[in-house]
Amino acid sequence: MSVTEADVRAALARVVDPSGGADVVSSGMLGAVSISGGEVRVVLEVDPAKGRAMEPVARAAEAAIAALPGVTRASAMLTAHSDSPSAPPPNLRGTGHGHAHGHSHGPAGGPGEPLRQAAKPQSGPIEGVDRILAIGSGKGGVGKSTVSANLAVALAAEGRRVGLLDADVYGPSQPRMLGISGRPSSPDGQTILPLRNHGVTLMSIGLLTPEDKATIWRGPMLMGALQQMLRQVAWGRLDVLIVDLPPGTGDVQLTLSQKAEVTGAVVVSTPQDIALLDAKKALDMFEKTGTKVVGMIENMSTFVCPCCGEETQIFGHGGAKAEAERIGAPFLGEIPLDIDVRLSGDAGVPVVAAKPQSPQALRFREIARKLIGAGYA
């Protein structure tokens, strides 16, 4: 028998918050419900001031869900929600009580202990991180995450100590691209230990949630999660932390510029006019937030037929270079549209690692060397 969202809601309707006297469903506390096979995760949105006092309610919610037929593991994630921009970050793990398989350890702490907010400043430099390089696009679908992953591996191949923060909370793709799976751990319930592959240290919401499930968070929750991933992750000593931004010019971009000292930003665009229109918005956003644009990359620049060798400019050509010249920013290079780049990313081995001597990999290495030479990585 498979459990349904209606079953979960019915079970949680019997869990009462003693402080308010209402159940977690009717009180509006219940946020997202995620069901994957027999594993059920729920998000409970609570007043930040009552976070620790609400842990018994979270455990009661887990017990109610775990008692449902067909449930093998239940997890309730306490998330601090507030309309105030000063709201503390949400807990990035659930208390994690299991059913048939015992305790489900999340990315931090032991069972029943959510990740605590670290007693660290919430703005300014990140301990151990020399530079922060934001990768933005203004538009989805231009291959920004692919560029971020390959650029990170290329910088590591050039001898740099590299971290990659997947800040696209709604569409995290870096775990797949870097071939990383499993949950980060935390020995003290306060600091998250990131995972590593291809010489790159990675943190991503995608490591904490099922790959096929949506993250449904409001703005303050999103900003809190970003701050935790910036400041409560044990990045170690890094020459550069690459931040793979989501498309657009929203909360994540603004929070990053306000809460961290960003060394510079790289804007990725395809050559076509539609993509460049949104790239210009990203450029304008970085200017307004005081973030220096250290270069532009033209992705999917040309296509070379693997059969006949003919070069085709599918999306046009040279648009990003012309825009870089217009604003006086360095043009870092062109990346061709190539099936090996796509296949290697899907396989979890970026082309820079999979085929290090290929023309595509050498383009990324050249861009990496330009950034290092200019002091940005």
The helix/strand/coil state of 201 is strand
Closest Cα partner for 119 from 203, 188, 56?
188
Whether 163 has a binding-site annotation, put simply, is no
Whether 139 has a binding-site annotation, put simply, is yes
Rounded CA-CA distance 232/186 in Å is 10
Tokens encoding 305: 């037929």
Taking each helix axis from N to C end, the angle separating 339-346 and 144-157, rounded to the nearest 10 degrees, works out to 80
Tokens encoding 84: 């105030």
Whether residue 296 contacts residue 266, with contact meaning beta carbons closer than 8 Å, is answered with yes
**Strand 240-244 vs strand 162-166: parallel, antiparallel, or unpaired?**
parallel
124 phi/psi in degrees, rounded to 5: 95, -165
DSSP state letter for 42 = E
Rounded CA-CA distance 284/193 in Å is 35
Whether 370 has a binding-site annotation, put simply, is no
Q: 207-238 burial, b if ≥16 CB within 10 A, otherwise e?
A: bbbeeeeebebebbbbbbbbbbbbbbbbbeeb
Only one residue has tokens 């220096």, namely 292
Whether 144 has a binding-site annotation, put simply, is yes
DSSP state letter for 160 = -
CA 32 to chain centre: 18
Tell me the binding residues for ATP: 138-145
Tell me the binding residues: 138-145
